[in-house]
A and B are shown apart, each in its own frame.
Chain A
């Protein structure tokens, strides 16, 4: 009787399929990474001539002179940071208020609709915000805020300098207002989820001791989520920094440092949007790409900060 040799089977068809499928999924993930890498490389290569030409002075010079080919990033950088900062200052209290309201005080019948309304704000495309800002907010602001202030405030006083600006509502403050409305739903939604994640026994212990809802929220719940909340804020900040369309319509497009609250300014993305198609010299194009690189670095820093603070994913 012969003993049949035992065949050592190679990878079965199923195993090959598994390996193939895993490879495809992995490649897709790598394509994604390649895109990001390509983006960074394109910005670095494109922006390098300007950075090499101007050196570190590029970041602190507010000049923007296409005739003399002198470009400096300070105006747009400051504009970006100021509008984003103002927007966060306006959005944060509102977002906290909305999240707290939805979690603690809102009657449950209404809660679904209110939270849907807040989410819808996030869905409105930025160009619609831009149009609304330019055609509705700006004239209203000029007529009902700037013009009355002209009459009431002495132009040479501190307040007068603070509120100095062209009365057409196209300035960094109104741009910040629009950004605040755009960013607020993101922060509010995350804060709401964070508040919901506070363990019930912590809340109930506080109520049990006789705290008013205000005290429970301000002294117990908000500090509990503080770290992750700051992370949420930085995510919103990342969005505010990169917003293009809504800002371009309403910021007034002036390259100088904004010198007052109602001054026209520019952000990095609005500068790129306005000038890229028409930049006539290579150095101009390179300066714009260098600006893009700066924006990317700032956004990246905000995201890294958010990640460190929020910790691992909130599922």
Chain B
């Protein structure tokens, strides 16, 4: 009888008292999800703290951090300085990647299809409906394109990936800018919606004749073919860590308030035109300082030790100078390093 009571008491304690080590929660973008989760697993070997990262989309990350329901939010769409001040948030980049158009056309492999921003705009607007449209053929001399209709696959959820992609379209396709605009969730004129980067990759993989856009890691792992996109220098670099890094190095990080920097259409022959950094959002004044410290400890570890994992998963770690700058900015967070 005593044993049962003691057992129940112990279980009860386990359920309500926080662990001695910190477990903290982050939520947001699906792009860096594989990276943060892989980092989290490695971090568990190096520390007693535990990270729980849930991929619910960049819009969700912003909303949940503003609602104080998570310890940090992750977003591919950086908040503007005004929004940061209003919400009392601090924003810093954690890694760099790129958005890649992916398609499913048996017989045409990765890197064989060439597209431009204007073409992508027309396809996603629904103005270009078939793969063998003369405009696509013009950009791909010598490639045999089938007469099949193009099935556009976009995101059904709010997403920083969508923000990067639609901002790129708005910058390169005046029709798109006029008719749709750029945001993390837009009114898509055509196509079907997949949930998360993985949902889009799964749809593209399953649907013959489809064209979608995903973060690079999902293009590689999702076993779908990626297309090349013409950059500002007129070249067609392959999407890869070096082309994302090339886009990142030229960017004016130090001068941007709130670290609001978009890596789209960066100059340079080898720069991938639809690159972007992924950002972390934390409150300037921490409600629970021990959680804030745990989050910063984690990212400090990730900056110091996580580069190899990032490279293995095809993410681009921040350049050393950027890491130093970000670390300095952490001091602004209540109870920081």
Contacts and interface: CB of A to CB of B under 8 A. Distances in A.
Interface of A: 63-68, 70, 138-139, 166-168, 170, 248, 252-255, 264, 274-275, 277-280, 285
A202 B289 CA distance: 77
Given A168-B203, A252-B192, A278 B187 contact: no
Nearest to B63: A280
B207 interface: yes
Contacts of A138: 206
Given A64-B187, A167-B207, A278 B57 contact: yes
Interface stretch (B132-140, B178-186, B262-270): B178-186
Nearest to B156: A253
Nearest to B185: A66
A274 B157 contact: yes
B186 A168 contact: no
Contacts of A167: 207-208
Nearest to B199: A253
B151 interface: yes
Contacts of A278: 56-60, 63, 157-159, 185
Contacts of A255: 187
Question: DSSP majority for the B interface?
Answer: loop
Question: Interface range on chain B: under 10, 10 to 19, 20 to 34, or 35 or more?
Answer: 20 to 34
Contact of B157 (A252, A275, A285): A275
Interface string B184-220: 1111000111110000000100111010000000000
Interface centre among B151, B156, B184 (most CB of A within 10 A): B156
B62 interface: yes
B187 A277 contact: no
Given A170-B192, A253-B195, 14 more contacts: A65-B187, A66-B184, A67-B182, A68-B181, A248-B195, A252-B193, A253-B192, A254-B192, A275-B185, A277-B60, A277-B64, A279-B60, A279-B158, A280-B63
Contact of A275 (B158, B180, B181, B207): B158
B56 A65 contact: no
Contact of B184 (A70, A166, A248, A280): A280
A274 B155 CA distance: 10
A168 B57 contact: no
A63 B187 contact: yes
Nearest to A67: B183
B66 to A, nearest CB: 9
Interface in B143-164: 151, 156-159
Interface of B: 56-60, 62-64, 151, 156-159, 180-187, 191-195, 203, 206-208, 210
Contacts of A279: 59-60, 63, 158
A275 B195 CA distance: 9
Contacts of A66: 158, 183-187
A7 to B, nearest CB: 41
Contact of A277 (B57, B193, B194): B57
B318 to A, nearest CB: 26
A266 B187 CA distance: 14
A274 B194 CA distance: 10
Nearest to B54: A277
B193 A254 contact: yes
The 3 closest A-B pairs by CB, nearest first: A278-B60, A65-B187, A278-B59
Contacts of B180: 67
Contact of A280 (B59, B156, B186, B210): B59
A277 B158 CA distance: 9
Given A279-B63, A280-B158, A68 B203 contact: no
A218 B219 CA distance: 58
A264 B64 CA distance: 30
A248 B64 CA distance: 23
Contacts of B185: 66-67, 275, 278, 280
Nearest to A135: B206
A253 B193 contact: yes
21 contacts: A66-B183, A66-B184, A67-B182, A67-B185, A139-B206, A166-B151, A166-B207, A167-B207, A248-B195, A253-B156, A253-B193, A253-B194, A274-B156, A275-B156, A277-B63, A278-B56, A278-B59, A278-B60, A278-B63, A280-B158, A285-B63
A253 B191 CA distance: 10
A275 B193 CA distance: 12
Contacts of A252: 192-193
A167 B159 CA distance: 26
Interface centre among A70, A139, A168 (most CB of B within 10 A): A168
A120 B158 CA distance: 37
